[in-house]
Amino acid sequence: MLVLVAPGQGAQSPGFLAPWLDLPGVADRLAWWSAVADLDLVHYGTEADADTIRDTAIAQPLLVASGVVAALALFPHPAEAYRVVGAAAGHSVGELTAAAGTGAITVESAMTLVRERGRAMAEAAAVTETSMTAILGGDRDEVLAKIAEYGLTAANDNGAGQIVAAGTVEQLAAFHADPPAKARLRALSVAGAFHTKHMDSAVDRMALLARGVPARDPRIPYISNRDGAVVHSGRELVERLVQQVASPVRWDLCMQTMGELGVTGVLEVPPAGTLTGLVKRALPGVETFALKTPDDLDAARAFVARHGVAGHSMANSPTWRLIVAPFSGTVRVGVPGGDPIEPGTQLAPGTEVCAVVSRRAEQTLVAEHGGTVLEWLVEDGDPVAPGQPLLRIHPKGEAH
């Protein structure tokens, strides 16, 4: 089973986009997206220096554009990807790349959101001098306790023994002077404390814009940074993108979900290398591929052919008719104390229909669009996997 992943801020390097401009149509796409992003993506991706592209307002649109360009080179007809890709995920701003790649939002919507995300996060970062530090190794519980002791936030939990702490420069200086035992600290060259309370004003700005973003349910399972859950609702996906700006990235849980899905291959779009490195350490035995330049495309296609599985359940069903499991666990059909939900039941939009319970969490699922219940695909108490369809609903206003 194949998973596509998209990296986050910090993965960019000077000139990394230059080789992709040799492909037909890429310059035209970038010119159009540059107009949407109000940013010269070609210039920043080919000529700008490292300090320039470190700017949050530049780095984030550049990352999303590069990931989508490479994905379209690999899958010129997106429907091909929907048939063979088992799931998709992005790290931090890479979630917008994944959202566009799964068809949940358009590329234009992704570029608009990332433009405003980058600007709003840069403005939020300018209010207080903040930064981030990577912690490598050490006992996980001790590391988290030490982060909390100094009032910092575990902004990225990347798994494989890597956690990123974020907060004010004063808090980080004290943390560096008293590090967790057996851990190595590395200050990151970032412009602020992303995925923390310091980004709350950016969330407010994003929430205002997101209400008008057209969203569709993703065509393939989308794994969310918040908790590693498979998100099936396009509207929920957009809401999560907004809240994630000030919420920790749980990449460790994303990789856990990939393992539960049965992943055999992970392909990372440009600028690739960071996430495949984490996967190698966290998921031994899973093959990885870092797509860096167009010279890698033939090998990438062979990788897709080895790991892609045609005809996964969501690809073969109209996804907006399904309720799917967000994570592995046990399904509880219906709502305690509520009326039975049998085939033929008419559901109003937003009706609670079932819950999935695991040691990780419990989540109640709703029929977002409403409609007529056609069939349950599971029984009460059944074990379920992430992204597994649970209930099929016929939308209102359509004939059977």
Whole-angstrom Cα distance, residue 395 to residue 203?
A: 32
Q: Are 94 and 146 within one domain?
A: no
Instruction: Say what the pTM is.
Output: 0.88
Nearest 5 degrees, angle CA 366-CA 369-CA 370?
Answer: 75
Q: Find out whether 290 and 279 touch, Cβ atoms under 8 Å.
A: no
> Is residue 27 located within the same domain as residue 58?
yes
The answer to whether residue 388 scores a pLDDT higher than 70 is yes
Tally of structural domains, the chain:
3
Instruction: Give the pLDDT confidence of 40-98 residue by residue, as tens digits.
Output: 999 999 999 999 998 889 999 999 999 999 999 999 988 888 889 999 999 999 999 99
Q: Determine which one of 66, 92, 224, 247 is catalytic.
A: 92
pLDDT for 359? 86
Instruction: Please tell me whether residues 129 and 114 are part of one structural domain.
Output: no
369 is known as an active-site residue? no
Overall average pLDDT of the 250-278 stretch: 96
In terms of residue numbers, what domain contains 208? 2-122+197-307
Given the residues 91, 109, 131, 195, the one annotated as active site:
195
Q: Beta strand pairing status for 346-347 and 322-324?
A: unpaired
pLDDT in tens, 161-172: 999 999 999 999
**Which of 162, 187, 212 is the last residue before a domain boundary?**
187
Rounded CA-CA distance 28/42 in Å is 10
Summary mean pLDDT of the chain: 92
pLDDT at 400 over 50: no
**195 among known catalytic residues:** yes
Percent of the chain beyond pLDDT 70? 96
Q: What does the pLDDT look like over 2-22, one tens digit per residue?
A: 999 999 988 999 999 999 999
Which amino acid appears at position 299 of this protein? Answer: A
| Domain shared by 338 and 275, yes or no | no
Query: In this structure, are 138 and 218 located in the same domain?
Result: no
Dist CA 291 CA 200 (whole Å): 34
Residue 397 pLDDT > 90: no
Instruction: Show which of 307, 333, 366 is a domain's final residue.
Output: 307
117-164, pLDDT tens digit by residue?
999 999 999 999 999 999 999 999 999 999 999 999 999 999 989 999
Query: 143 and 23, same structural domain?
Result: no
DSSP category for residue 373: E
Question: How would you label 144-176 residue by residue, b for 16+ Cβ within 10 Å and e otherwise?
Answer: bebbeebebbbbbbbbebbbbbbbbeebbeebe
